[in-house]
């Protein structure tokens, strides 16, 4: 079972505008008009944090009158008041969902993360709850939480308990205007001092199983004492795997120093949980002073690695909680702070990767001075041989009439999800729709489970007649199926049935996160990604779901899923970031070599006694994942260092003669100079700044297309590598297609 990953971006449309018969004066007026539209407020723009790896959201106060410009500024949604219990069930068993439904649906339609605010709080609770005894209160609480879970199953986040710290707003009946009094119904302080919070989170976990559960409170980042108390509560919840993130309100920061906020963010980050700034506003009347405060505080929060999103608390004059926190006047004119915010986010965005520029390096042209004709001929010839060459010695692609085909592992005489998904990726990159559809229909017909615990997963290998050899799944196959289908949707559009590529991809994505969370039982089907670790598992089965394979980590694919998927978008952003950090722990610090398998902490692992704690066949592909991730998104300069380190290691072993298996500290124990490894090392040259890259590129150019008994794995990696190093492995962008 092996995997590989790589991309690039191309807009499916080239826009050319021709102005004819227009005199200079008319043209000048036209250009001035266009410029004035561009530099005024974002009437037709995208959210100002669009394309970033964290969101910048806002509240919607009135679900019946959502601001028409909301999506031109913000890309996350929180209901300001519509989701609070009092506003939904002011009278017992009489529900008002209209505004909350509207806000939720708006978020779903725009593919924005939606946060429910809030389940448990001392304020804005229905008055009738205080008149019930504890047993009836608990029954009503369970009903309330279960209704939210049923009605809003696609909620990305939920503030489970709001403002729980003592003397804030727990539901203890205290306060000058008495709060709700159902704390004891949830268990009171109990043995932990926080039993009522723990039980609230247990209910939320039960009834909102696919939603990230947050705690939320004010006065945290501007108070070390509150931060310390908050961390104690958070760690109690974390120890029971009940909490997924930390919410920190950001009201009242007008006089707060950046140093204090940074210190407390650092403390919270030590919990290992993501932080969300949930209610940011700066209540300053003077335009310039408000802008200065944003300039001081916003970057330190936005750029903190533990902060995964920021939600502002209103933005239009006369529609904010505090009178001077607005960023747009009631005539929709931007205040200086809003203009600065847009400029800052634009300048802080990492936009040097191919995803942003649309430019893909071609190493054969750049380093070897090969012509387009030479390069295209070489690629076409390789495809022709591997897909339509001699049946016994060359081809891997075998049609099954009338309209299916498979990729065969020749040595093992079987069909694997790895090879099928690689074949589909090669086909979509080369605009071979017929071959793509044939492969997909075979995989859909013989490999994908259509019901039962493994529904939408694939049997990882079959006989060439379609008979299943193993009903279990290998995670890399599903990953490559998903991205290939998404590219097909963008490049060719969707048809009906199994050729509605986008729907098919989404079904697999949903399945990846909606099986059993984990298990130690053999043949128990589990999630393909461990939600706590945010890492892909080796096999989604209880016997092998507690470790991973470095070559299965495809952060560049997860980045795209985060942008295009119908749900769980923030999870995919988090998974991308997690994989980048994981790579640093998984590779040897001296050689840059990765093992085949590791534990989730990155330490080498050899569960089956086959030497998988060493650099073997799966591990060939890891460096290509690192290099393509940097080529597409350029988010971590460590990836350049890693590519340099690994290439320098192989250079020291002889570019044309190095072997294919090593211990992680660099001892070679196989002398075969494998074409698949040659291809993957050459892909590393895309991100490398080393002086020796030309030698690796020449080695791939001179390599023969694999033939013979062992041509399957070498051949697939060779073909993918050829596309990757020539700029022919591209991102076909669903968002661009939609436009």
Residue 719 has pLDDT above 80, yes or no: yes
Residue 5 has pLDDT above 90, yes or no: no
pLDDT tens digits for range 541-570: 999 999 999 999 999 999 999 989 988 887
CA angle 455, 456, 458 (to 5 degrees): 100
Residue 30 has pLDDT above 90, yes or no: no
Residue 113 has pLDDT above 90, yes or no: yes
Residue 11 has pLDDT above 70, yes or no: no
Q: Residue 334 to residues 66, 188, 337, 466: CA-CA distances in angstroms?
A: 18, 47, 8, 62
Confidence of residue 385 (pLDDT cuts 50, 70, 90): very high
Q: What's the average model confidence in pLDDT over 614-628?
A: 98
Residue 41 has pLDDT above 80, yes or no: no
Name the residues annotated as catalytic.
418, 618
Q: What's the average model confidence in pLDDT over 209-236?
A: 97
pLDDT tens digits for range 311-329: 999 999 999 999 999 999 9
Q: Which of 354-358, 614-618, 690-694 has the lowest mean pLDDT?
A: 354-358
Residue 735 has pLDDT above 90, yes or no: no
pLDDT at 32: 36
Determine the number of helices (DSSP H) and then strands (DSSP E) in the chain.
24, 19
Residue 40 has pLDDT above 50, yes or no: no
The region that residue 10 occupies, defined by phi over 0 for left and psi between -120 and 50 for alpha, beta otherwise, is: beta
Is residue 52 a contact partner of residue 302, using CB atoms and an 8 Å limit?
no
Q: List, in order of start, the domains of the chain with CATH numbers.
A: 53-348 (3.20.20.80), 350-395+553-724 (1.50.10.10)
Q: Which residues of 411-431 are buried (b: 16+ CB within 10 A; e: fewer)?
A: eeebbbbbbbbbbbbbbbbbe
pLDDT at 570: 79
State how far the Cα of 403 lies from the Cα of 590, in Å rounded to an integer: 50
Q: What's the average model confidence in pLDDT over 629-633?
A: 96
CA angle 167, 171, 173 (to 5 degrees): 80
Residue 331 has pLDDT above 90, yes or no: yes
The total of other beta-carbon atoms located within 10 Å of residue 493's CB is 13
Percentage of the chain beyond pLDDT 70 is: 93
pLDDT at 53: 80
> Among all chains, which residue has been given the structure tokens 């001296």?
590
Residue 25 has pLDDT above 80, yes or no: no
pLDDT at 351: 63
Residue 15 has pLDDT above 70, yes or no: no
Residue 42 has pLDDT above 60, yes or no: no
pLDDT tens digits for range 336-364: 999 999 999 887 765 679 998 899 999 99
Average pLDDT, the chain: 92
pLDDT tens digits for range 46-82: 899 987 889 999 999 999 999 999 999 999 999 999 9
pLDDT at 347: 75
pTM reported for the whole predicted model? 0.66
272's tokens: 């290992």
673's tokens: 């100079």
pLDDT at 105: 97
Q: What's the average model confidence in pLDDT over 276-290?
A: 97
pLDDT at 52: 83
> Does the CA dihedral 142-144-150-152 come out positive or negative?
negative
Sheet order of strands, 397-400 included: 397-400, 404-409, 414-416, 461-462, 468-470
State how far the Cα of 156 lies from the Cα of 73, in Å rounded to an integer: 20
DSSP E strand stretches across 402-467? 404-409, 414-416, 461-462
Q: Which residues pair with 217 in a beta bridge?
A: 248
pLDDT tens digits for range 632-662: 999 899 999 999 999 999 999 999 999 999 9
Residue 83 has pLDDT above 60, yes or no: yes
């Amino acid at each position: 079972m092996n995997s590989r990953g790589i991309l690039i971006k191309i807009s499916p449309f080239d826009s050319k505008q021709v102005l004819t018969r227009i005199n200079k004066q008319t043209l000048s007026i036209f250009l001035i008009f266009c410029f004035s539209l561009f530099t005024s407020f974002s009437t037709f723009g995208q959210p100002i944090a669009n394309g970033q790896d964290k969101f910048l959201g806002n509240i919607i106060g009135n679900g019946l009158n959502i601001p028409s410009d909301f999506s031109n500024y913000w890309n996350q949604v929180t209901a300001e008041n519509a989701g609070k219990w009092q506003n939904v069930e002011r009278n017992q068993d009489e529900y008002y969902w209209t505004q909350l439904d509207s806000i939720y649906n708006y978020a779903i339609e725009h593919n924005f993360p939606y946060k429910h605010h809030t389940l448990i709080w001392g304020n804005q609770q229905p008055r009738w709850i205080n008149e019930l005894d504890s047993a009836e209160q608990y029954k009503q609480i369970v009903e309330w939480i279960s209704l939210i879970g049923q009605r809003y199953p696609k909620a990305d986040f939920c503030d489970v308990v709001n403002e729980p710290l003592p003397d804030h707003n727990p539901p203890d009946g205290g306060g000058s205007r008495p709060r709700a009094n159902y704390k004891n119904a949830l268990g009171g302080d109990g043995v932990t001092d926080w039993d009522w919070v723990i039980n609230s989170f247990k209910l939320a976990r039960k009834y909102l199983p696919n939603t990230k559960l947050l705690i939320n409170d004010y006065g945290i980042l501007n108070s070390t004492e509150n931060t310390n108390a908050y961390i104690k509560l958070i760690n109690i919840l974390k120890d029971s795997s009940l909490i997924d993130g930390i919410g920190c309100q950001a009201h009242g920061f007008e006089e707060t120093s950046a140093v204090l906020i940074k210190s407390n963010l650092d403390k919270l980050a030590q919990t290992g949980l993501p932080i969300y700034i949930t209610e940011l506003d700066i209540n300053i009347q003077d335009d310039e002073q408000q802008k200065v405060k944003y300039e001081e505080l916003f970057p330190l929060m936005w750029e903190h690695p533990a902060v995964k999103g920021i939600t502002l608390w209103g933005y239009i004059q006369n529609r904010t909680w505090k009178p001077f926190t607005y960023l747009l006047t009631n005539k929709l004119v931007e205040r200086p702070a809003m203009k600065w915010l847009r400029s800052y986010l634009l300048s802080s965005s990492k936009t040097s990767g191919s995803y942003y520029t649309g430019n893909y390096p071609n190493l054969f042209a750049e380093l070897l001075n090969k012509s387009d004709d030479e390069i295209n001929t070489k690629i076409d010839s390789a495809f022709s041989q591997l897909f339509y060459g001699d049946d016994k010695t060359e081809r891997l692609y075998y049609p099954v009439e009338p309209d299916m085909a498979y990729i065969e592992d020749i040595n093992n005489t079987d069909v694997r999800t790895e090879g099928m998904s690689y074949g589909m990726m090669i086909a979509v990159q080369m605009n071979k729709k017929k071959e793509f559809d044939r492969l997909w229909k075979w995989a859909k017909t013989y490999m994908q489970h259509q019901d039962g615990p493994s529904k939408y997963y694939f049997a990882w290998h079959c006989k060439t007649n379609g008979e299943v050899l193993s009903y279990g799944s290998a995670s890399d196959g599903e990953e490559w199926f998903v991205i290939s289908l998404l590219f097909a949707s963008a490049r060719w559009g969707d048809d009906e049935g199994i050729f509605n590529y986008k729907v098919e991809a989404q079904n697999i994505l949903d399945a990846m996160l909606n099986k059993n969370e984990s298990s130690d039982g053999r043949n128990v089907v589990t999630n393909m990604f461990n939600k706590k670790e945010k890492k892909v598992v080796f096999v989604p089965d209880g016997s092998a779901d507690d470790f991973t394979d470095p070559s299965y980590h495809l952060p560049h694919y997860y980045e795209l899923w985060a942008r295009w998927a119908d749900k769980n978008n923030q999870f995919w952003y988090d998974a991308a970031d997690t994989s980048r950090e994981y790579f640093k722990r998984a590779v040897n610090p001296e050689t840059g070599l990765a093992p085949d398998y590791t534990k989730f902490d990155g330490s080498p692992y050899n569960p089956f006694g086959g030497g998988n704690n060493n650099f073997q066949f799966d591990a060939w592909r890891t460096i290509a994942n690192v290099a393509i991730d940097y080529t597409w998104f350029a988010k971590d300069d460590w990836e350049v260092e890693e590519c340099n380190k690994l290439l320098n290691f192989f250079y020291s072993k002889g570019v044309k003669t190095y072997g294919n298996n090593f211990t992680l500290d660099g001892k070679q124990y196989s002398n075969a100079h494998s074409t698949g490894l040659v291809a993957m090392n050459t892909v590393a040259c895309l991100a490398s700044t080393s002086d020796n890259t030309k030698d690796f590129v020449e080695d791939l150019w001179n390599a023969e297309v694999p033939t013979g008994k062992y041509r399957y794995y070498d051949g697939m990696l060779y073909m993918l590598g050829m596309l990757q190093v020539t700029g022919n492995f591209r991102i076909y962008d669903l968002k661009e297609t939609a436009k």
